[in-house]
Chain A
Amino acid sequence: METIVFSLLNGTIYGLLLFMLSSGLTLIFSMMGVLNFAHASFYMLGAYCAYTIMGVTNFWLALLLAPILVGAVGMGVERWGLRKVHANGHVAELLFTFGLAYLIDEVVKIIWGRTSVNYKVPESLDFTLFTLYGSNYPAYRIFILFVSIFMLVSLWYLLKKTRVGLIIQAALTHPHMVGHLGHNVPLVFMGVFGAGCALAGLAGVIGGNYFITDPAMAVQMGPIVFVVVVVGGLGSLEGAFVAAMLIGILQTSAVSINASFADIFGFLGMTATSEVGGITIASLAPMLPFLMLVLILIVKPTGLMGDREV
């Protein structure tokens, strides 16, 4: 019972963080039709910016400023980079973001060093909120939960209930029509790209000190985010949400399962001492998202809720 509760709680938090990252990516994808390979790099930038801002002022200001800063960088990239490359087609855009990811990686290493920085949870949030089954639960995790849910609700409200959201949704599917109606479509694109990057930056701000802030965080997070977007269905926010929660909970709970292949397939005569039988479910945890990716692509190439092929 306690295992299930903890797995659900930790999995939900991890899933929400994943969603915050992938929501921006999936928005940008629906808009430009191109996967932004540099998306996880903006997540890293967010964490590092927050670390620097926190050093000068405090965490709360960092929480506000870092995403804005990262969003501004994202807008700049769209305005002076992607927009020019866009004329040369999707492949050029893809290569552009690919190169950008490496560029940001190196810039981060030059500015903040090649090893991890000591980006800490703020003291005002560094306490035990409650004790569950003899295990302390840190307040910062619940804080992540609330920030994520707040972001989720605001994003939903913005896209579904406001005029801005209406124009964005229209521009995503019928950019020419929206342009003819007198709206500045390039501006909308720039805004969405910036907002997507800001969301990744926000995930970096609250995820950087929950996990660890080092130059490898983008490379390690990148593949998982793509899995979320593809499994959820390219361009579908709802799908990304479901996929993120699924992967978060699946990966976290797999770690707490002690069973090995021998326990599961014992009836087939597999023993715990054999090469395959000795593999435990827990050790498979890092592989599960990718297994899911492969299976989804075979069974339902559009993803859980997407409407277009990958």
Chain B
Amino acid sequence: MTNIKRAVLAATVSVVALASAATADVKIAFIDPLSGPFGPSGDAAFTSYKLAFEKLNAAGGLNGEQVELTGYDNKISPKESLVQLQKAIDSGVRYVFQGNGSSVSAAIIDAVSKHNARNPGEEVLFLNYAAVTPAFTNEACSFWHFRFDAHADMKMNAITDYILARGDINKVYLIGQDYVFGEAVAAAAVKQLGEKNSAIEIVGNELHPLGKVKDFTPYIQKIQSSGAQAVITGNWGQDMVLLVKAAADSGLTIPFLTFYGGSVGAVAALGEGAMGTLYQVNEGITNLEASPEQYALIEEYKDRFPDYDYYYHRAFLAVDMLKAAAEKAGSTDPIAVANALEGLSINGAYGPITMRAEDHQAQQNLYISTVSDDVKYGVDNIKLGWKLVDGGSVSAASAEEPTTCKMERP
């Protein structure tokens, strides 16, 4: 009897050992909110990475090695993120993806730099796909950090150019989340509007607590009484959805020029009212002309994750770039990959993307879009979807911004 038990135990142990040996070539961590007010934002990105890495593994992996992706819930807290980061590093993770919340990213950049200085040979790379505070690729730049999303100044440039081109907006209201990112957005808007056209008046500049406001109606009524003709906001996640929901309830129908109007549920909250009032600037929308493979990818994503829409195009771009870099380096060692990533350029579905070597800021086309009912792909499971506005295409070259980064290389 005891022998049989032992045999079963031994067999189980060996199966487990085999299973883990087969999957654990390269471990990659995804650290972002997977619960709470920003849970949908984190989860939508996590599902994008899941699909991207599944496809990568099926196509032969990262330079021939299979990738294992693990999600870590940081509850959008920098403190919790560091705990999760340590947990990930302890389990052998060498690449970390994170994006939601610049406050979190700042903490991770710092922790990763310290870890790499103390543990030579066990370096960790931080691949940032959405935290867009400009400082990360300027005065606070780090060799261990790569950003795959256009930063706040670049996006704001596209928005302010669009406001000038429209010509019918003279009063602008700025509202944002009260943390480093919201401050950066407001500062960029004030600076750029002032430099480009001093005739445009900023009638309000407001920051609200991050993820705590449940009812934006008082803010909306303030916007209404200010006589604003457009709102610029960097809000994302629940703060984006509730802001436009309150605007719709109060009958505020001026343009909302946003970074993250594509946050899950924002279009559904506005409904028909979103057409011509909700705008976003990002690196690509599903209703742009694209290859059949890209359309197939969009449809496969929707099929697999019906709660979300193909939104994090940059997640797929980041994985493609990582793959190209590993092949170029002929290795999956983080330092070799980081060196290969510098200056690397690949062709994305909506144009080329280049990782600028001097500051690790990706350069890519930006697109300004608004909501329309005449589209191929809807979002939020309704027929409304994102459509490019006239002249809304900003080439990578004109979206590029100078950097003050003086990078220290290992």
Q: Which residues of A pack against B, CB within 8 Å?
A: 2-3, 6-7, 10, 14, 109, 114-116, 118, 128, 131, 133-138, 210-212, 214-216, 220, 252-253, 255-256, 258, 280, 282-283, 286
Contact present for A7 and B242 (CB under 8 Å): no
Known pairs A116-B37, A136-B250, A283-B208 / 5 extra A-B pairs, C-beta < 8 Å = A6-B217, A115-B35, A212-B37, A255-B222, A256-B221
- Contact partner of B224 (CB less than 8 A), chosen from A10, A134, A253, is A134
Q: Which residues of B pack against A, CB within 8 Å?
A: 34-37, 39-40, 43, 178, 204, 206-209, 212, 214-215, 217-222, 224-225, 238, 242, 249-252, 265, 268
Query: What are 26 residue pairs bridging A and B, where the CB atoms are less than 8 Å apart in the complex?
Result: A2-B221, A2-B225, A3-B221, A3-B225, A6-B218, A7-B218, A10-B218, A114-B36, A115-B36, A115-B43, A116-B39, A118-B268, A136-B250, A211-B214, A212-B37, A212-B214, A214-B36, A214-B238, A215-B36, A216-B37, A253-B218, A255-B219, A256-B221, A256-B222, A283-B208, A286-B212
By beta carbon, the residue of chain B nearest A282 is B206
Which of A116, A131, A133, A211 has the most C-beta atoms of chain B within 10 angstroms of its own C-beta? A116
Instruction: Return chain B residues, CB-CB under 8 Å to A118.
Output: 265, 268
Known: A6-B221, A135-B251, A283-B178. A114 touches B34 (CB 8 A): yes
Contact present for B39 and A114 (CB under 8 Å): yes
- Contact partner of A212 (CB less than 8 A), chosen from B206, B208, B238, B252, is B238
Instruction: Return chain B residues, CB-CB under 8 Å to A138.
Output: 249-250
Contact present for A220 and B212 (CB under 8 Å): yes
Instruction: Return chain A residues, CB-CB under 8 Å to B219.
Output: 255
Q: Taking the nearest CB of chain B, how far is it from the CB of A206, in angstroms?
A: 13
Instruction: Return chain A residues, CB-CB under 8 Å to B217.
Output: 6, 10
User: How far apart are the CA atoms of A258 and B204 in the complex, in Å?
Assistant: 9
Known: A6-B221, A212-B242. A115 touches B249 (CB 8 A): no
User: How far apart are the CA atoms of A212 and B213 in the complex, in Å?
Assistant: 10
Instruction: Return chain B residues, CB-CB under 8 Å to A256.
Output: 218, 221-222
Instruction: Return chain A residues, CB-CB under 8 Å to B215.
Output: 10, 14, 210-211
User: How far apart are the CA atoms of A128 and B208 in the complex, in Å?
Assistant: 26
User: How far apart are the CA atoms of A133 and B224 in the complex, in Å?
Assistant: 9
Known: A10-B218, A115-B39, A135-B224. A283 touches B212 (CB 8 A): no
Instruction: Return chain A residues, CB-CB under 8 Å to B238.
Output: 116, 212, 214
Instruction: Return chain B residues, CB-CB under 8 Å to A128.
Output: 251
Q: Taking the nearest CB of chain A, how far is it from the CB of B243, in angstroms?
A: 12
Which of A6, A220, A252, A286 has the most C-beta atoms of chain B within 10 angstroms of its own C-beta? A6
Q: Taking the nearest CB of chain A, how far is it from the CB of B42, in angstroms?
A: 9
By beta carbon, the residue of chain B nearest A7 is B218
Q: Taking the nearest CB of chain A, how far is it from the CB of B190, in angstroms?
A: 14
User: How far apart are the CA atoms of A255 and B377 in the complex, in Å?
Assistant: 38
Instruction: Return chain A residues, CB-CB under 8 Å to B225.
Output: 2-3, 133
Q: Taking the nearest CB of chain B, how far is it from the CB of A241, in angstroms?
A: 21
By beta carbon, the residue of chain A nearest B222 is A256
The 7 closest A-B pairs by CB, nearest first: A136-B251, A114-B35, A115-B39, A211-B214, A255-B218, A138-B249, A6-B221
By beta carbon, the residue of chain A nearest B307 is A115
Which of A216, A220, A252 has the most C-beta atoms of chain B within 10 angstroms of its own C-beta? A216
Instruction: Return chain B residues, CB-CB under 8 Å to A134.
Output: 224, 251
User: How far apart are the CA atoms of A131 and B265 in the complex, in Å?
Assistant: 26
By beta carbon, the residue of chain B nearest A286 is B209
Instruction: Return chain A residues, CB-CB under 8 Å to B220.
Output: 135
Contact present for A136 and B249 (CB under 8 Å): yes
User: How far apart are the CA atoms of A214 and B217 in the complex, in Å?
Assistant: 19
Instruction: Return chain B residues, CB-CB under 8 Å to A136.
Output: 249-251
Contact present for B36 and A131 (CB under 8 Å): no
Instruction: Return chain B residues, CB-CB under 8 Å to A282.
Output: 206
Q: Taking the nearest CB of chain A, how far is it from the CB of B178, in angstroms?
A: 7
User: How far apart are the CA atoms of A116 and B238 in the complex, in Å?
Assistant: 9
Instruction: Return chain B residues, CB-CB under 8 Å to A133.
Output: 224-225
By beta carbon, the residue of chain B nearest A118 is B265
Instruction: Return chain A residues, CB-CB under 8 Å to B35.
Output: 109, 114-115, 215
User: How far apart are the CA atoms of A214 and B238 in the complex, in Å?
Assistant: 11
Instruction: Return chain A residues, CB-CB under 8 Å to B207.
Output: 283
Which of A212, A253, A258 has the most C-beta atoms of chain B within 10 angstroms of its own C-beta? A212
Which of A2, A3, A14, A135 has the most C-beta atoms of chain B within 10 angstroms of its own C-beta? A135
